[in-house]
Chains A and B, each alone.
Chain A
Amino acid sequence: MTRSLRDVVFVDGVRTPFGVGKPTGQYAHTRADDLVIRCIRELLRRNPSLPPERVDEVAIAATTQIGDQGLTIGRTAALLAGLPQSVPGYAIDRMCAGAMTAVTTVASGIAVGMQDVAIAGGVEHMGRHPMGEGVDPNPRIISERLVDPSALVMGATAENLHDRAPDITRERCDAFAATSQARAKAAYDAGVIQRDLVPIATWSEGGWGLATADEPMRPGTTPDDLAKLKTPFRPHGRVTAGNAAGINDGATACLVTAEETAHELGLTPRMRLVGYAFAGVEPEVMGVGPIPSTEKALRRTGLSIDDIGAFELNEAFAVQVLAFLDHFGIKDDDERVNPYGGAIAYGHPLASSGVRLMTQLARQFEADPSIRYGITAMCVGIGMGGTVIWENVR
Chain B
Amino acid sequence: MSYEEVVTEAKLRWVSVPAGDIALITLDNGFDHTKPNTFGEGGLRSLDAALDEAHARPGLAAVAVTGKPFVFAVGADLGGVPEIPDRETALTVGREGHRVFRRLRDSEVPTFALVNGAALGGGLELALHCHYRTISSGAAAVALPECFLGLIPGWGGTQLLPQLIGADKALQVIVDNALAQNKMLKGPQAFALGIADVMYEPADFLERSLEWVSAVLAGEVTVQRPHVDTGEAWTEAVARTRAGLDARIHGAAPAPYRALDLVGLARTADLTEGFAAEDEALADLIFSDELRSGLYAFDLTQKRAKRPVGAPREGARAITKVGVVGAGLMASQLGLLFAQRLEVPVVLTDVDQARVDKGVGWVHEQIDGLLTKGRVNADKANRLKALVTGSLSKDAFRDADFVIEAVFEELKVKQQVFAECEEVVRPDCVLATNTSSLSVTAMASQLQHPERVVGFHFFNPVAVLPLLEIVRAEQTDDATLATAFAVAKTLKKSAVLVKDAPAFVVNRLLTRFMGEVTKAVDEGTPFSVADTALDPLGLPMSPFLLLALVGPAVALHVAETMHEAYPDRYYVSPNLARLVAAKKPGIYTWGPEGQQVDPEVAAMFSPPADAVPLTAEQVRERALSAMAEEISIMLDEGVVAEAQDIDLCLLLGAGWPFWLGGITPYLDRSGISEKVTGKRFLPNGLASPA
Contacts and interface: CB of A to CB of B under 8 A. Distances in A.
Interface stretch (B24-32, B173-181, B352-360, B403-411): B24-32
Given A82-B201, A212-B16, A206 B207 contact: no
Contacts of B198: none
A199 B210 contact: yes
Contacts of B12: 206-207
Interface in B16-38: 16-17, 24-26, 28
A198 B12 CA distance: 22
Contacts of A82: 201, 203
Interface string A20-57: 00000000000000000110010000000000000000
A80 interface: yes
B593 interface: no
B78 interface: no
Contact of B204 (A41, A205, A206, A208): A41
A208 B12 CA distance: 8
A188 interface: no
Interface in A171-208: 198-201, 203-208
Nearest to A203: B69
A97 B356 CA distance: 67
Nearest to B12: A207
A80 B69 CA distance: 16
Interface in B560-587: none
B25 to A, nearest CB: 7
A223 to B, nearest CB: 31
Contact of A207 (B11, B201, B204, B211): B11
Interface in B196-212: 201, 203-204, 206-207, 210-211
B332 interface: no
Interface in B643-668: none
Nearest to A204: B13
Given A199-B210, A199-B211, A210 B203 contact: no
Given A207-B25, A207-B28, A208-B66, A201 B206 contact: yes
A153 interface: no
A207 B203 contact: no
B131 to A, nearest CB: 20
B659 to A, nearest CB: 39
A127 B583 CA distance: 77
A81 B17 CA distance: 23
Contact of A201 (B14, B16, B207): B207
A212 B21 CA distance: 12
Contacts of A209: 13-15, 24
A41 B211 CA distance: 15
B24 A210 contact: yes
Contacts of B207: 38, 198-201, 210
B203 A208 contact: no
A38 B15 CA distance: 18
Interface in A70-116: 80-82
A198 B207 CA distance: 9
Contacts of B25: 207
A227 to B, nearest CB: 33
A148 to B, nearest CB: 45
Contacts of B206: 201, 208, 210
A208 B211 contact: no
Interface string B210-226: 11000000000000000
B16 A206 contact: no
The winner among B12, B26, B66, B204 for most chain A CB atoms within 10 A is B204
A200 B66 CA distance: 15
Contacts of A200: 207
Contacts of A204: 13
A198 B204 CA distance: 11
16 contacts: A37-B204, A38-B203, A38-B204, A80-B203, A81-B203, A82-B201, A199-B210, A201-B207, A203-B69, A205-B11, A206-B12, A207-B28, A208-B26, A208-B66, A209-B15, A210-B15
Given A199-B211, A209-B15, 10 more contacts: A38-B204, A41-B203, A199-B210, A205-B11, A206-B12, A206-B26, A207-B24, A208-B26, A209-B13, A210-B17
